[in-house]
Amino acid sequence: MSKYLLNKFLFTVDRDPELVERYREDPRELVTWWESTVANSLLNCHSGEASTWLEFTPAERDALIERDHVRLFEMGAHPFLTLTLFIAVFERDNTEPLEYQKAYGAALSGFSLPYPDIAT
């Protein structure tokens, strides 16, 4: 399991308006593309250098494709990163204030303290 890579996905997509839209419109395409092109890139580093070993487990890949924030929480993805990206993807569908945000929390109601470890 790579909590770091999950977080790297959430971090890099959240900061890029184009990637946010691609994740909203076709999550399978975006996750597949991201893993093959971005996952091993060294952020803030000149091109030509990359890591060689980062990849999602099947469960992680599925959770991202299914945009399943409950499973991501369970896996220990950083909750702030998941929340802020998923708000970007889904908040625009709200019909009343904080509708998505409250539903997001309610979907996690099965969790009690201690929450899954988010240390990477």
Partner 1 sequence: MASIVAVIASTHHPFYYRASTSTGADRPPFADEWTRKILAFRETLTRANPDVLVMVGSDHFHQLWLDNMPQFLVGKAPVYDANWYNEEREFGLPRMTLKGQEDLSSHILRAGLDEGFDLAFSNELRIDHSITCPIITLRPEADLPIVPIYTNIFAPPLPRPTRFVDLGVAIRKIIEEWPSHLRVAVIGTGHLSLELGGPRQFGPHGPDPAFDERAVAWIANGDLDGCLREVTLDSLHAPGNATHGFMDFMLMMGVAGAGAKADYVDTFDLFHTMEAYFTWYPNGAPA
**Would you count residue 119 as binding partner 1 (CB under 8 A)?**
yes
Minimum CB distance to partner 1 smaller for 28 or for 45 = 45
Exactly one of 1, 15, 28, 57 binds partner 1 (CB under 8 A); that residue is 15
How many of the other CB atoms lie within 10 Å of CB of 12? 16
What is the distance between the alpha carbons of residues 55 and 57, in angstroms, rounded to a whole number?
7
Q: Is 88 in the site for partner 1 (CB under 8 A)?
A: yes
Q: Say which amino acid occupies 67.
A: R
Are the beta carbons of 20 and 88 closer than 8 angstroms?
yes
- Rounded to 10 deg, the angle between the 3-14 and 79-90 helix axes is 40
Query: Which residue in 33, 37, 82, 90 binds partner 1 (CB under 8 A)?
Result: 82
Three-state DSSP class for residue 41: strand
Give, to the nearest 10 degrees, the angle between helix 27-37 and helix 58-65: 140
Give me the least distance between CB of 109 and partner 1, in Å please.
5
Which of 32, 83, 90, 94 binds partner 1 (CB under 8 A)? It is 83
Interface with partner 1 by CB under 8 A: which residues? Answer: 4, 7-8, 11, 14-15, 17, 42-44, 69, 73, 78-84, 87-88, 91, 98, 101-102, 104-106, 108-111, 113-115, 117-120
